[in-house]
Amino acid sequence: MPTSSSSADGGSRRPARRELLEGPIALTLLRKSLPVVGGMVAMMSFNLVDTWFIAQLGAEPLAAVSFTFPVVFAVISLAIGLGIGTSAVVAKRLGQGEEVIVRRRATDAALFGLVVGLLLSALGLATLDPLFRLLGADAALLPHIRDYMGIWYLGASSVIVPRVLNSVLRAQGNTLIPGLMMALAALLNGLLDWLLIFGTGPFPALGVRGAALATVLSWSAMGAALFWQRELRDCLDVRGLTLVGLLASWCELARIAVPAAITSVFTPLALAMVTRIVAGHGHQAVAGYGVGTRIEAIAQIGVLALSMTLPPLVSQNIGAGQHERVRRAIFGCFLFVLGWQLAIWLLLQGLAPWLVAGYAEGDAMSDVLRAFLWWVPLGLGAQGVVILGVSSLNALHEPARAMRLSMIRLFALSVPLAWLGGRLGGAEGIFIGLFLANLAVGLVAWHTLRRRLEARRHAQGEPTPI
């Protein structure tokens, strides 16, 4: 039975929740995904703007900051995992109508993000020099790395907590505010980069320290702006905080967040392994592959956005016991991404002559890029099924299965088949191997989700749909 306070604040959340539980599935997911696409484009520009400004400082600062990318990505992966756990837990509780527990879990998730950020700050500063020496940074680069990471580590909480808060909003069906906040953070970061890296007016020129400070300040401003959102404030309440309740919340969150964070780290690790395989075929192959992967990232924006908006719908409807609606949403999305990515592949074939002419230097690189554009995007529909399958399993509170599915795609199929393809067919053979890996694991993902949803229906005593 909701308390009076939950009844009072429920009005701000009920329209969005009714939409996830009762609205037309396709139209609801479209409306929720469009702001996410905008936010993702903004975040891509965030990194590009940082890199461009730092490049103006010279080769050494740029190389030094490049050494920080694996560490920064590891922290962001942890934040992504915590966000996935938060969204899954909060959305399922919302579907069950447990308003009081929703506030408890949302509040405890934000506190967890703050604590994790503070611990990472302390650990990162204590191990800064040994870690980056281990990564291969030499004495010439370490001063620049200290300047950058010394500030970035101090702001680790400001990088993590806003992602958690955004996940609370997405769990309620609100994707507009997170999308706007990400766009505003990206704009603020670009402005602060210009002011703090080079200095202008009253602002001193801080070099790479200015780039790190711009990142921390823009994410901090985003977190502060989120706290002003009434819908989010209604979900946060520290008055009922107890140690026992806090630990219970953290255990529930960690059960999904930890595997999700590990899964996030798998992708760049596998990408590095495939890059090493490509490197065995020469610099032109690496250059063509590098251009191809950037085009691939843009081609997948729609699927990645859907992977952030489908899970709240799945979790809320599972919490409400609407298993048939969950089945229709997941498999409807599977069919959509297969058709959507086929259309993207056809578009890329039409654009391929211009893309190759614009980016490739020499016949060798042109051949590699053309082969990439033919084979790899052809498998992105099946890969989209896997990505949505993983996000759906997390939303169903089955993170171990989600992690296993990612491991199968990356390490049991993609890397071995890329290696075998390279041995048999050169650079084009690598891309054929990646296509076959996506095709195979797409079938595995489809079968896995069908089997898990059928098992849940049987457990509820519901008939299997014809």
- CA separation for the pair 407, 401 (Å, rounded): 10
- Domain ranges within the chain, ordered by starting residue: 28-241, 273-459
Record the tokens describing residue 368, joined without a space. 């590699």
Report the pLDDT value the prediction gives residue 463, as an integer from 0 to 100.
57
Torsion angles phi and psi, residue 240, rounded to 5: -95, 20
**What is this structure's pTM?**
0.84
- CA separation for the pair 261, 254 (Å, rounded): 10
Record the tokens describing residue 297, joined without a space. 């990232």
Report the pLDDT value the prediction gives residue 324, as an integer from 0 to 100.
93
Angle of helix 14-22 relative to helix 301-319, nearest 10 degrees, comes to 100
**Through-space distance between the first and last CA atoms of the chain, rounded to whole angstroms:** 37
In this structure, the dihedral spanned by the alpha carbons of residues 293, 299, 300 and 305, taken in order and rounded to 10 degrees, is 140
- CA separation for the pair 116, 253 (Å, rounded): 13
Q: Compute CA 167 distance to the chain's CA centroid, rounded to the nearest angstrom.
A: 11
Report the pLDDT value the prediction gives residue 205, as an integer from 0 to 100.
87
Report the pLDDT value the prediction gives residue 3, as an integer from 0 to 100.
37
SS3 for the chain is CCCHHHHHHHCCCHHHHHHHHHCCHHHHHHHHHHHHHHHHHHHHHHHHHHHHHHHCCCHHHHHHHHHHHHHHHHHHHHHHHHHHHHHHHHHHHHHCCCHHHHHHHHHHHHHHHHHHHHHHHHHHHHCHHHHHHHCCCCCCCHHHHHHHHHHHHHCHHHHHHHHHHHHHHHHCCCCHHHHHHHHHHHHHHHHHHHHHHHCECCECCCCHHHHHHHHHHHHHHHHHHHHCCHHHHCCCCCCCCCHHHHHHHHHHHHHHHHHHHHHHHHHHHHHHHHHHHHHCCCHHHHHHHHHHHHHHHHHCHHHHHHHHHHHHHHHHHHHCCCHHHHHHHHHHHHHHHHHHHHHHHHHHHHHHHHHHHHHCCCHHHHHHHHHHHHHCHHHHHHHHHHHHHHHHHHHCCCHHHHHHHHHHHHHHHHHHHHHHHHHHHHHHHHHHHHHHHHHHHHHHHHHHHHHHHHHHHHHCCCCCCC
One-letter amino acid at 274 equals V
Report the pLDDT value the prediction gives residue 465, as an integer from 0 to 100.
52
The length of the chain in residues reads: 466
Burial of 56 (0-12, 13-18, 19+ CB in 10 A): exposed
200 beta partners: 203
Q: Return all residues near 439 (Cβ < 8 A) that are at least 6 apart.
A: 379, 382
Print pLDDT tens along the chain (466 aa).
333 333 334 444 455 557 889 999 999 999 999 999 988 888 777 776 777 888 788 878 887 887 787 788 888 888 888 989 899 999 998 888 888 888 888 999 999 999 999 999 999 999 999 988 887 778 888 899 999 999 999 999 998 999 999 999 999 889 899 988 988 888 898 899 899 998 887 888 898 999 999 999 999 999 999 988 888 888 888 787 888 888 888 998 889 988 988 888 888 788 888 988 998 898 788 888 888 887 898 899 999 999 999 999 999 999 999 999 999 999 999 999 999 999 999 999 999 999 888 877 778 889 999 999 999 999 999 999 999 999 999 999 999 999 999 999 999 999 999 999 999 999 999 999 999 999 999 999 999 999 999 988 777 766 555 4
